[in-house]
Chain A
Amino acid sequence: MSENSNDNEIRNLVMTRLETLPSDAVVSLGSNGEFTKDQIIESVRRGDENGKKMIEIEMAFLQGLKDGILYEATSFSN
């Protein structure tokens, strides 16, 4: 698989997953600004800096799932 099609797949995956955000949710990414659900999905589609940050957050989460981060997180709280 080429790097380009891999990037597209990741982008599509993140956009799909962001559809689960509540419709009236606003994402605050600190100094990068605030984004409605539609805006952050559009940023990911365009691949701008905010979209890249959102992909980084989502991929860290998905990678974390693979590495058992939820298990670690829940064991923190015990």
Chain B
Amino acid sequence: MVFYMKQHLLVTRPEYDYTTRYISAWAKKYLKLAEQKGYAIIDLNRERANRKEFESVVKKKKPALIILNGHGNNNEVAGENGETLVDVDTNAEILADKITYALSCQSAKKLGVKVGSYPDTTYIGYKEDFAFLRLEKYGRKPIEDTLASFFLEPSNSVVVSLLKGHSAGDSHSRGQREFSKNIQKLLTSKIKSDDSSALRFLIWDLKHLTLCGDKNKALA
């Protein structure tokens, strides 16, 4: 008899302000695909996105893919209410030998570089603030916000590509391509002129989407 071990995917989804509620809601889109692909999902949503639980499940379940959604800075990525989950000085090694995607501000600048220096490890994130536009009327229905979709679909495409088994390098490129496609759409006359104001932020995010570490690493 052959025993099949499911691979684990860990996602953090704090939800304590509009930004985190938005990125959390959009994360559900790729979680459906992950489920279909047979991953065992560890979903650290809201108050479960705390450091104690994060460290505990990473050590115990050894997820192949970690997706961090939350606020961040050069040194860290945070969970619910801004609690630090992982930072450059105290627990960065917890991400070693894994693929991490961080939809978080600035974390690829220092934390990502450190994590990417570990063998057989990849960190994809943003070197600067992840900026996006949303429309006030969709505050309670983030998924229906077409303006926000210009930003969050390209971000999701990185994860979708990884889940489909593509390498980290290819998935990083896929994210860049999806940002670029949206930039191209906004440069055509078919798009509302209101939406074209997103251009400056899309260029910013595209420019700062960064891969640190092993670009050939892929999910088995």
Residue A69, interface by CB 8 Å: yes
User: Chain B's interface: helix, strand, loop or mixed, by majority?
Assistant: helix
User: Is A25 within 8 A of B18, CB to CB?
Assistant: no
User: Is A73 within 8 A of B179, CB to CB?
Assistant: yes
User: Is A28 within 8 A of B197, CB to CB?
Assistant: no
User: Is A28 within 8 A of B177, CB to CB?
Assistant: no
Q: How far is the CB of B161 from chain A (nearest CB, A)?
A: 15
Residue of A nearest to B151 (CB): A28
User: Is A77 within 8 A of B129, CB to CB?
Assistant: no
Residue of B nearest to A53 (CB): B129
**Residues of A44-78 contacting chain B, CB below 8 A:** 53, 57-58, 60-61, 64, 69-70, 73-77
Residue of A nearest to B23 (CB): A28
Other than A25-B147, A31-B129, give 10 A-B pairs with Cβ distance below 8 A. Answer: A20-B193, A20-B194, A22-B194, A24-B137, A26-B18, A30-B19, A30-B131, A57-B204, A61-B199, A76-B176
Residues of chain B whose beta carbon lies under 8 Å from any beta carbon of chain A: 17-19, 22, 71-73, 104-106, 129-137, 147, 176-177, 179-181, 183-184, 187, 193-197, 199-201, 203-204, 206-207
